[in-house]
Amino acid sequence: MQREKPRRRGIYLDHSATTPVRPEVLEAMLPFLREHHGNAGSLHRFGRNCRRAVETAREQVAALINAEPRDILFTSGGTESNNLAIMGIVEASDRTAKRMVTTAVEHHAVLHAGESLAHTNRVDLRIVGVDQDGLVDPDAVEAFLGDETALVSVMHANNETGVIQPIERIGVLCQEQGVPFHSDTVQSVGKLSLDVRKMPLDLAAISGHKLYGPKGIGALFVRSGTGIKPQAVGGAQERGRRAGTENVAGIVGLGCACELLHEELLSASKRMEVLRDRLHEGILAAIPNAGINGSTARRLPNILNVAFGGLDGERMMFALDQEGIAVSTGSACTAGSLDPSHVLLAMGQSHEHASSAIRFSLGRNNTEEEIDRVISLLPGLVKQFLEKPD
* Residues noted as catalytic: 333
**Angle of helix 313-322 versus helix 368-387 axis, rounded to 10:** 120
What is the C-alpha separation between 62 and 82, in angstroms, rounded? 18
Considering only residues 337 and 349, tell me which one the structure prediction assigns the higher pLDDT.
349
Q: Residue 217 in 3-state DSSP?
A: coil
Total-model pTM: 0.94
Q: 355 and 209: one domain?
A: no
Mean local confidence (pLDDT), 338-345: 88
Using the 3D structure, point to which of 233, 261, 289 is the last residue of a domain.
261
Q: How confident is the model at residue 1 (pLDDT cuts 50, 70, 90)?
A: very low
In eight-state DSSP terms, residue 154 is -
Q: Does 377 map to a domain?
A: yes
Q: Does 211 map to a domain?
A: yes
Q: Report residue 329 CA to chain centroid gap.
A: 16
Q: 212 and 288: one domain?
A: no
Q: Return the closest-CA partner of residue 153 out of 224, 206, 85, 62.
A: 85
The pLDDT tens digits for 100-141 are 999 999 999 999 999 999 999 999 999 999 999 999 999 999
Considering only residues 70 and 4, tell me which one the structure prediction assigns the higher pLDDT.
70
Number of folded domains that form the chain: 2
pLDDT for the residue 333: 58
- Burial class of residue 288 (count of CB atoms within 10 Å of its CB; 0-12, 13-18, 19+): exposed
Residue spans of beta strands (DSSP E) within 44-176: 72-75, 99-103, 124-128, 149-153
Q: 118 and 77: one domain?
A: yes
Q: Does 143 map to a domain?
A: yes
CATH number, domain with residue 71? 3.40.640.10
Q: 328 and 204: one domain?
A: no
Mean pLDDT of the chain: 94
Residue type, 141: V
Q: How far, CA to CA in Å, does 375 sit from each of 9, 162, 203, 315, 359?
A: 16, 20, 40, 17, 14
Q: Does 4 map to a domain?
A: no
Q: Does 220 map to a domain?
A: yes
The pLDDT tens digits for 154-191 are 999 999 999 999 999 999 999 999 999 999 999 999 99
Q: 246 and 268: one domain?
A: no
Q: Return the closest-CA partner of residue 193 out of 156, 218, 162, 225.
A: 156
Q: 115 and 204: one domain?
A: yes
Q: 257 and 271: one domain?
A: no
What is the C-alpha separation between 126 and 142, in angstroms, rounded? 12
Mean local confidence (pLDDT), 341-347: 96
Q: 54 and 75: one domain?
A: yes
Q: How confident is the model at residue 66 (pLDDT cuts 50, 70, 90)?
A: very high
Q: Does 3 map to a domain?
A: no
Q: 288 and 241: one domain?
A: no
Mean local confidence (pLDDT), 328-342: 69
Q: How confident is the model at residue 306 (pLDDT cuts 50, 70, 90)?
A: very high
> What residues make up the domain containing 96?
23-261
What is the C-alpha separation between 174 and 141, in angstroms, rounded? 9
Using the 3D structure, point to which of 261, 292, 310 is the last residue of a domain.
261
Lowest mean pLDDT among 44-48, 302-306, 307-311: 307-311
Q: What is the DSSP string of 119-138?
A: HTTS-EEEEE---TTSPPPH
CATH number, domain with residue 376? 3.90.1150.10
Q: Does 6 map to a domain?
A: no
Using the 3D structure, point to which of 228, 246, 261 is the last residue of a domain.
261
Q: What angle do CA 356, 212, 243 make, to 5 degrees?
A: 105
Contact present, 47 and 240 (Cβ < 8 Å): no
The pLDDT tens digits for 83-101 are 999 999 999 998 877 999 9
Q: Does 2 map to a domain?
A: no
The pLDDT tens digits for 278-290 are 999 999 999 988 9
pLDDT for the residue 337: 55
Q: 166 and 29: one domain?
A: yes
Q: 55 and 113: one domain?
A: yes
What region, left, alpha or beta, does residue 66 occupy, with left being phi > 0 and alpha being psi -120 to 50 degrees? left
In eight-state DSSP terms, residue 185 is -
What is the C-alpha separation between 53 and 87, in angstroms, rounded? 29
- Burial class of residue 44 (count of CB atoms within 10 Å of its CB; 0-12, 13-18, 19+): exposed
Tell me: pLDDT of 253 over 60: yes
pLDDT for the residue 7: 54
Alpha carbons within 13 A on the beta-carbon side of 37: 3
Nearest-Å Rg of the Cα atoms of the chain is 22
Q: 251 and 294: one domain?
A: no
**Angle of helix 368-387 versus helix 248-286 axis, rounded to 10:** 60
Mean local confidence (pLDDT), 320-335: 81
